[in-house]
């Protein structure tokens, strides 16, 4: 089985990389279970994809709530009888210097970027074991390889995603697959949660100068899914050529 016919759940699916992945995978015949916090945005995405002939269902999902991930996975199995791939893509980036003491921002990054991945694993792993197949795809970042001032907590959550994913891969056995996708600067709305005007302006300027389209990351995700069952793509790092 390649992408055609696979049941794929995606968090953070209403915009950015998640939306681009949904569009590409739908084009290649996947059955989609889309999760994001905004029901209105989700429904709008589903309507557009359905008009193009895609098989799509939605479930409002806040990945910081374990129950929401459980319900997302249950929605997939209740509708399609199985889940082939869980793409844990939802993320936030309210970066700031430590001196600002943005503890709420720190907590948000831990809750969404890190605990959201763990809650996805908790929801899907027992199902994947019962099925005898399944593929976790977790979105990290090139920040997991390089810490820069003001982004320490964000980088810490993404480093943790890489570590957790690698540990999961080692424990997964021969029937499950685990992939980490680490994007560089991507043309999304990632800066909208940054409260410091100067930091936000700098990030947006850099994004507008060098960022790659979300579709570039979506193609990396599709590549990992499209491998034969016995092939596990452990990690893909994809960044703009202009990014140091």
Catalytic residue among 118, 154, 165, 183: 154
Q: What is the rounded CA–CA span in Å between residue 33 and residue 69?
A: 12
Q: What is the rounded CA–CA span in Å between residue 113 and residue 163?
A: 13
Yes or no: say if 84 and 7 are a contact pair by the CB < 8 Å rule. yes
Burial of 127 (0-12, 13-18, 19+ CB in 10 A): middle
Token duo for residue 209 = 């100068």
Instruction: State the alpha helices, DSSP H only, in 57-174.
Output: 66-80, 103-109, 115-131, 152-172
CA dihedral 27, 28, 29, 31 (to 10 degrees): -80
To which residue do tokens 């480093």 refer? 159
DSSP three-state, residue 31: strand
Token duo for residue 176 = 């499950």
Q: What is the rounded CA–CA span in Å between residue 68 and residue 3?
A: 25
Greatest distance between any 2 Cα atoms in the chain: 51
Interior CA angle at 64 toward 61 and 68, to 5°?
35
Residue 80 bears catalytic tag: no
Token duo for residue 80 = 């399609």
The residues carrying an active-site annotation are: 154
């Amino acid at each position: 089985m390649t992408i055609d016919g696979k049941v794929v759940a995606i968090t953070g699916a209403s915009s950015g990389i998640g939306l681009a992945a949904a569009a590409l995978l739908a084009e290649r015949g996947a059955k989609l279970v889309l999760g994001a916090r905004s029901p209105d945005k989700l429904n709008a995405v589903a309507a557009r994809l359905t008009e193009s002939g895609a098989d799509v269902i939605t479930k409002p999902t806040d990945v910081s709530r374990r129950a929401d991930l459980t319900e997302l996975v249950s929605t997939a199995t209740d509708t399609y009888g199985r889940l082939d791939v869980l793409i844990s893509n939802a993320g936030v980036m309210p970066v700031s210097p430590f001196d600002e003491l943005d503890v709420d921002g720190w907590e948000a990054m831990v809750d969404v970027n890190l605990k959201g991945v763990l809650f996805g694993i908790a929801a899907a792993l027992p199902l994947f074991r019962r099925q005898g197949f399944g593929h976790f795809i977790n979105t990290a970042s090139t920040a997991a390889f390089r810490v820069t001032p003001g982004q320490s907590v964000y980088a810490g959550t993404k480093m943790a995603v890489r570590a957790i994913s690698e540990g999961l891969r080692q424990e997964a056995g021969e029937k499950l697959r685990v992939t980490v996708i680490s994007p560089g600067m991507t043309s999304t709305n990632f800066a909208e949660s940054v409260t410091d005007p100067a930091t936000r302006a700098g990030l947006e300027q850099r994004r507008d100068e060098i960022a790659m389209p979300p579709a570039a990351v979506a193609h990396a995700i599709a590549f990992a899914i499209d491998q034969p069952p016995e092939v596990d793509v452990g990690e893909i790092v994809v960044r703009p050529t202009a990014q140091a």
